Amino acid sequence: MLKGLDPQLDADVLHALRAMGHGDVVVLVDTNFPAESCAAHTTVGTALAIDNVTLAQAASAVLSVLPLDGTDPDPVRRMQVGDDPNHVPNVQAELADALRAAGEDPTMAPTARFDFYDIAKGAFAIIRTGERRFFGCVAFTKGIIGPEG
């Protein structure tokens, strides 16, 4: 254990988050997402895991160390439910609460399912969570930490 780090962040996840640069994308997905097959196309090359937690809990852990990109108009993208970009299921509403708690804008750009798969395949890393509810998938674009910290 290390002081100041969320215990959900294991060495593999921390290594990936640290290795990411400005503009790189990390995708957090539910247990039903084809994480391993999509992750084969990512920089990391295999799916990472934050097991036994919800999407919101995993997002809180990641956001405790990952700055979001303030220059990207959509630094947070969520998997859209069907053809309705305005439908926000409970799993994503909890994610919005986690974003607020981390001091981030809770706005999440809806992204159609297969477009989301394309984002995941082009990501730096995919992290599978223990989330069992459908549409528990989000992509974060990494920002910067300035000289002032």
The active-site residue out of 10, 15, 22, 41 is 22
Catalytic (active site) residue 12: no
Length of the chain: 149
CB 72 within 8 Å of CB 141: yes
- CA pair distance 66, 30, nearest whole angstrom: 20
Catalytic (active site) residue 30: no
The active-site residue out of 51, 72, 115, 117 is 117
CB 130 within 8 Å of CB 31: yes
Catalytic (active site) residue 22: yes
The catalytic site residues sit at 22, 69, 117
